[in-house]
Structure 1
């Protein structure tokens, strides 16, 4: 090798080395940092390394004094780029989180850092935590921000409004400074933003116009909020990923999203699974996607109550997408024969391998009975929802300058206190659906054999309960209504938990899971009046999530409990047969256990339960 080549090689190697990211990671150490002494290892690492591009503190718990110590060490790192601080405040008081965040932000502001990635996912921020971020998000540190991750932070509508205002101010400040904000990725799933928060965030998207990925699943957003977001998606023509899984579009929301596709030709991944699109919504999507989006790689429209005709339209629409690798239609109302025909039709396409297996489906007749057809599509929307939707359409026709008006409360949702909310539970139209409800021979025989021994009574809340002199474990598990304390006390078993589990274990798949869930609720229903019922409910909550994790259904079960306990707002109102306040009480006790489920499930429950105390 000549000296010239040697010299070139050395300089190239040095340049590559300089461009490599260098940083510090304490990820998943499960450390508890209260003060400067506790966090000494982090501070020493920051002080000893001349170059620190990232600091990963994921999976630990940080207190105020410890955050202040880290802040001081960060001040000497203007080269800092990535704040990887997800799952960082487990077990911390609400008063601690904003103060800790202010310290961390102050350190980066003093350093003059230029942040590109901020990840605060899986932290119970809420509006209270947002107060610790407001100054930081408006500062020059974030002028260079490209990726923002706030997944599972419990922001709520108010937190969404605060975030929107901070980002709009950040955009304005960065533009004035001559360094326009180029935010590419926005992730804010599982935040209960609702329509009001969605409308606020849409203002931000209209201003930014640089987004390439928007991920906002499970936010209890309905067609009013979806319409607002759709108008803002159109302003971001570089979108490559759009994920609104497990919100509720209905046909009107689907029509608005379908209009977006014309303005976003670069889309690679589209996820509107579990959004109640229904058949007409599928038609809207199929028509909008058929002629364009040849680079589409992922299309997820599972669990949307789409019948065979809508499914066939979608299959036709994707056959000219050569890069399609995932096409999910599972859980729709095709029926067995319809599913077979869709598979057969898709097999004729060059991208046939993209179609995912359809293990769960509902017959078209069942879909019609449950409202899968569009005749009753919007009969169950909230009061004034139609007026709000029309008001929004009127607003959309006017010129929008992108400025968010904090006094605009059109979409604000009144908050009920916990007791009122318990009496008026809310469940989403897309709530937990089973492919085969209780239909086994054992179940039918047991219920039929018990009909003659049960009598009906009305309790003080006006709910029907099953009353008899004694109660077997089978009767307790298989009854479809709450049981009385008298029945619980009369359970004919020395070990009640084992006796109930013996009954539950005779069922499999969805039947087994449903029995676990509702037997838990029956015990939790009595938990404030019976210590024995409380202990049983805690054990059964644990058993339910053990089974959910074992069968990869934790998200499904978590969402269902959130809806059953009125912790997740939605459109369809229903009156629960269970004492929801008592069920929440038992859940609070259950998640105190170190062995309960996993941190993600515990933290999610804590976020929603904590919202009741705000």
Structure 2
């Protein structure tokens, strides 16, 4: 039996329980491990009907509720969200919660709090592009902090491993609470908070909180400000924090102003000094880096940075025919890696990525329900039909007279 229930991308407008009934009719929720509702618009009554269904999904691992309130009144969202989130509170199998691309703002986040504080088994939280702002961000971070404190009081380690909260205008107003929450959990592996308008003071706090997570493997803080004018305190804080993450393999600090006047940033010095020997992907585009920085990288690309497979340096002060850029490109190419240093490199890379998309991925984009059906059909061929064919053959053979 299929373990996935998906309405992904169908563009349904579900207002009432009657709208939901034909979609869930005949499905045993206790068998489901994944529920995907994203890409539809769901009203209060429909959410409550779906919540009743979800409450019976005792084996649910993935709850994808992204982009489900488009066109809904702000007064509708808290009630609908509360019903759906409350249905997940007691799910001991839950691994991933995705509430991205829903315009909560700071006004509609409270219904999420009980889920984040009471269900302490989930590992992955995705809240991307929700317009949280500093107030809403503080509420979410506060709930995660309380969750960590409750786990500690119960003598159990935190299960939280991934937090994705980009494009939310979190700013400095919520950075302190986020830093406390990250530090309290202590076992994070991935943190992605790009495009949040966090300035240097908040960046410093976050460096301290994240430094308490030695298990971190992936960090994305693209498009936040690490410096103010000539003040490099944010860079210094992150330079010191780098050695706290020995498992780090991905670091995205593009568009973060890590160099103000083209100087070689201390953060780069720490990286080439071997602070993160397992680093595979380093993104530093649009950071005012100049030839001296490229020279520094080129000098160690075969030693302390020998595991780098992808290096992004576009939109810096790259001079034409820079020998250091050439060295970096050749070294990465020899090991099967890639350097993105110019607009042309970026365009070529995007084209290659497009060409590598599989037919199955294309189907999923256009018709996820059909794709899932195909996937399940391929995985679980119909034994009943095969048995019937075999029985018919035996019957025919028995009629043959020799």
* TM-score under structure 1 length normalisation: 0.52
Matched, 1:291 2:291: no
Equivalent in the alignment of 1:344 = 326
Shift of 1:179: 4.0
Task: Quote how far apart the aligned CAs of 1:131 are.
Answer: 1.2
Match of 2:294 in 1: 311
Alignment-derived partner of residue 38 in structure 1:
19
Deviation at 1:136, TM superposition (A): 2.0
Q: Report SS of the residue matched to 1:195.
A: helix
4+ residue stretches of structure 1 with deviation over 6 A?
none
2-structure distance, mates of 1:254, 1:221: 14
**Cα contact 1:120–1:149 (8 A) shared by 2:** yes
Equivalence for 1:467: none
Q: How does 1:422-571 map to 2 (within 5 A)?
A: none
Match of 2:34 among 54, 65, 71: 54
Partners in 1 of 2:272 and 2:149 — Cα distance? Answer: 35
**How is 1:133-532 mapped onto 2 (pairs within 5 angstroms)?**
133-139=112-118, 142-250=119-227, 251-278=232-259, 279-280=262-263, 282-320=265-303, 321-337=305-321, 340-346=322-328, 349=331, 354-360=337-343
For 1:281 and 1:217, the matched residues in 2 are separated by 23
Deviation, 1:94, is 1.1
Tell me if structure 1 keeps the 8 A contact 2:59–2:93.
yes
Q: Is the 1:145–1:181 Cα contact (8 Å) retained in structure 2?
A: no
1:281 CA drift (Å): 5.5
Deviation at 1:126, TM superposition (A): 1.5
Q: TM-score, normalised by structure 2?
A: 0.78
**Which digits, 9 at most, give the CA deviation of each residue in 1:547-606, with x for residues without a partner?**
xxx9x9xxxxxxxxxxxxxxxxxxxxxxxxxxxxxxxxxxxxxxxxxxxxxxxxxxxxxx
1:128 aligned onto 2:120: no
Alignment of 1:75-94 (within 5 A): 75-94=55-74
Q: What's the CA shift for 1:177?
A: 4.1
2: CA distance, partners of 1:347 / 1:132: 50
Q: Is 2:99–2:126's contact at 8 Å kept on the other side of the alignment?
A: yes
Deviations 1:436-467 (A, max 9, x none): xxxxxxxxxxxxxxxxxxxxxxxxxxxxxxxx
Q: Whole-Å Cα distance in 1 between the matches of residues 333 and 210 of structure 2?
A: 28
Separation in structure 2 between the aligned mates of residue 330 and residue 210 of structure 1, nearest angstrom: 33
Q: Tell me the CA shift for residue 176 of structure 1.
A: 3.7
Aligned residues: 340
Residues 345, 124 of structure 1: alpha-carbon distance in 2 compared, 3 angstrom cutoff = same
Q: Residue 67 in 1 paired to residue 56 in 2?
A: no
| 1:78 CA displacement | 2.2
SS in 2 for 1:55: strand
Judging changes above 3 Å, is the alpha-carbon distance between structure 1 residues 261 and 143 closer, same or farther for their aligned structure 2 residues? same
Cα shift at 1:355: 4.5
State the match for 1:588 in structure 2: none
1 CA distance for matches of 2:113 and 2:221? 26
Mapped partners of 1:266, 1:113: distance in 2: 28
- The offset of 1:182, in angstroms, is 1.4
Q: 1:355 to 1:98 in 2, by over 3 A?
A: same
**Cα distance in 2 for residues equivalent to 1:292 and 1:73:** 49
Q: Quote the offset at 1:350 in angstroms.
A: 6.3
**Conservation of the 8 A alpha-carbon contact between 1:254 and 1:285:** no
- Secondary structure, aligned partner of 1:37: helix
CA–CA distance in 2 between the matches of 1:221 and 1:102?
29
Shift of 1:155: 0.8
- Paired residues of 1:322 and 1:351 also in contact (CA < 8 A): no
- Bigger radius of gyration among the two: 1
Flag structure 1 segments of 5+ consecutive residues without an equivalent.
1-16, 362-508, 510-549, 553-614
Query: Cα RMSD (Å) of the superposition?
Result: 2.5
Q: Which residue matches 2:364? A: none
Shift of 1:317: 4.0
